[in-house]
Amino acid sequence: MTTPDPPPARELLRTEGIRKTFPGVVALDGVDFDLRAGEVHVLLGENGAGKSTLIKVLSGTYRPDEGRVLCDGRTVRIADAEAAEKLGIATIHQEFNLVPHLSVAENIFLGRQPRRLGLVDRRKMEADAKVLLDRVGITASPRTPVGKLGIAGRQMVEIAKALSLRTRILIMDEPTAVLTAEEVNRLFAIVRKLRAEGVGIVFITHHLEEIPAIGDRVTVLRDGRSVGQVPAGTRQEELVRLMVGRSIEQQYPRQAAPAQGAGAGSGAPLLRVTGLRRQGVFDNVSFEVRAGEVVGIAGLVGAGRTEVVRAVFGADRYDAGRVEVSGKRLPGGDVWASHSAGLGLVPEDRKGQGLLPDASVSENLGLVTLREASKGGLVDRAGQRRAASRIAERLGVRMAGLDQHVRTLSGGNQQKVVIGKWLLANSRVLILDEPTRGIDVGAKVEIYQLINELTASGHAVLMISSDLPEVLGMSDRVLVMSQGRIAGELTAREATQDAVMALAVGTSAPGTSEMEDSPRGH
């Protein structure tokens, strides 16, 4: 006798035919989605597919133009965040909604502090917070200022805050984007615990390898439509096909620049770094990047990769050594001199360091060239706009127009804007720090093709990535950093995962580490 399958769990949430438009953009076009108690339902799609818009509808930020939302089988109207909270819906966004100088307990119960005789009952608030912190496995004191916690700790506080609201439906938007492998494992343990308690979880991720580890079902959005629902164990190739509407045969389409005639295109050194040192951070770092090539920098968390390239660019100081661009020595700690020499930096934190989120696409693209476009104290706005339009078209930035606020673009299009401002400045050497972090597979391929175009035209690219397959797939040479030093250099032919990891961990044999398990962190 065969055992019958258990009946499906109770449905907590359903959307039917959700449509949401903005001027010139159809963000959602008839989206159907459902969530059951005690499951992790992964919401998957390229940047701009509609994921963020859908969760903003469910969290009360946006109201749909058409369609309906049902909770426990009845139609509901989620007019604002308070209405979502009453329905048991909580959302943890990529940018945490926490107040750094307030304590963990104060953040958890912000606006809902328990009171006694008209005053905040701190003893009860901290005791209640401790129960929630224990539940999510964080050992920090309820009195600890949130600003003193790391990214993973803040995320756990957000989860504790959601649980304090008696959440039944937890929406997690890219919760693993900046976590190390160990932190991801801890997060997944909490998610599984909540699932076992009957909480329904909407989980948004760009990391396809995470889906079978944590998900039950997957709904794929494309161009604002729900195009398929599949089991979490579905092969990555099929998920990619559903997301982009085509098969990506080659995930890392590196095209080495062909040999050219004399000059920069023949492979002349454009960037040369010699003996760079900063006490306690990095030591005796030397390398060069030639025209037409991509040099990747790999290494484990804390190896010093980002610190080195920031020093090279002039954003941070260094104690000794020299940096040359096209044979010209640059003064240390001078970003303007680096820019003038043809050096550009796309930082790992594009929102915090690479963009002005509330400025327009046009204004962001013109940030680097603002000084050159100014004459007599006046900015040639018309000229800047023409140049911005040309670059945006070249990069294929998907937008409603040049006046659209850059914060409303998808992650992949934001990254194109960050890169575009340096192209507008005619940067010959481009440093890319985590160029594809937090963007989808389709946008990644577009970034890779752009790298190919740059090197084919004689530019040089220095790329840091914690995604080891990306480093191997897109680099002509790989520098491996370990404990602040260059542990070795590998050609594209020599650069295997085993060879890179052996250098990264300082052994003669392959090892295992965070970099193998998870493409995150420094």
The residues spanned by each domain of the chain are 11-244, 264-342+428-517, 357-425
- What mean pLDDT is reported for the chain? 84
- What pLDDT is stored for residue 152 in this prediction? 79
For 347-386, give one letter per residue: b (16+ CB within 10 A) or e.
bbebbeebbeeeebbbbbbbbbbeebbeeeeeeeeeebbe
- What pLDDT is stored for residue 286 in this prediction? 96
Cβ contacts of 35 within 8 Å, gap of 6 or more: 11, 12, 13, 14, 41, 169, 200, 201, 202
CA dist 167 → 34, 80, 90, 194, 417 (Å)? 17, 16, 6, 10, 37
Question: How many residues are recorded in the chain?
Answer: 522
Q: What is the mean pLDDT of residues 357-378?
A: 73
Residue labelled with tokens 């070795």: 488
Q: Do residues 31 and 17 touch, judged by C-beta distance below 8 A?
A: yes
Residue 486 has pLDDT above 90, yes or no: yes
Q: Per-residue DSSP letters for 26-71?
A: EEEEEEEEEEETT-EEEEEE-TTSSHHHHHHHHTTSS--SEEEEEE
Q: What's the pLDDT band for 84 if we cut at 50, 70, 90? A: very high
For 435-451, what is each residue's pLDDT tens digit? Answer: 887 777 777 888 888 89
* Segment of 91-95, 188-192, 352-356, 361-365 carrying the highest mean pLDDT: 188-192
Residue labelled with tokens 């040359």: 324
Q: For residues 325 and 342, give the distance between their C-alpha atoms in angstroms, rounded to a whole number.
A: 7
Q: Is 278 helix (H, G, I), strand (E, B) or coil?
A: strand
Share of the chain above pLDDT 70, in %: 89
Residue 407 token pair: 């914060």
Residue 82 has pLDDT above 50, yes or no: yes
Residue labelled with tokens 């991801």: 184
CA dist 394 → 71, 190, 223, 407, 420 (Å)? 45, 44, 21, 20, 9
pTM for the model stands at 0.59
Q: For residues 249 and 477, give the distance between their C-alpha atoms in angstroms, rounded to a whole number.
A: 23
Strands of 291-331 (E only): list them. 294-299, 320-325, 328-329
Between 116 and 234, the more confident residue is 234
Q: Is 351 helix (H, G, I), strand (E, B) or coil?
A: helix
Q: Do residues 401 and 363 touch, judged by C-beta distance below 8 A?
A: no
- What pLDDT is stored for residue 278 in this prediction? 94
Question: 3.40.50.300, 1.20.1250.20, 3.40.50.1220, 3.30.565.10: which CATH number matches 11-244?
Answer: 3.40.50.300
Quickly list H helices, 302-410.
Answer: 305-313, 335-341, 361-365, 381-395
- What pLDDT is stored for residue 3 in this prediction? 55
Closest CA to 368 of 348, 397, 347, 396: 347
Give the architecture-level CATH label for domain 264-342+428-517: 3-Layer(aba) Sandwich (3.40)
Q: How many CA atoms lie within 13 A of 49 on its CB side?
A: 26
- What pLDDT is stored for residue 217 in this prediction? 96
Residue 429 has pLDDT above 60, yes or no: yes
Domains 11-244 and 264-342+428-517 share a fold: yes
Q: Angle, nearest 10°, between helix axes 441-456 and 411-424?
A: 10
Pairing of the two strands 225-231 and 294-299? unpaired
- What pLDDT is stored for residue 387 in this prediction? 81
Q: What is the mean pLDDT of residues 9-30?
A: 89
Q: Which helix (H) or strand (E) holds 106?
A: helix 104-108
Residue 331 token pair: 């003064």
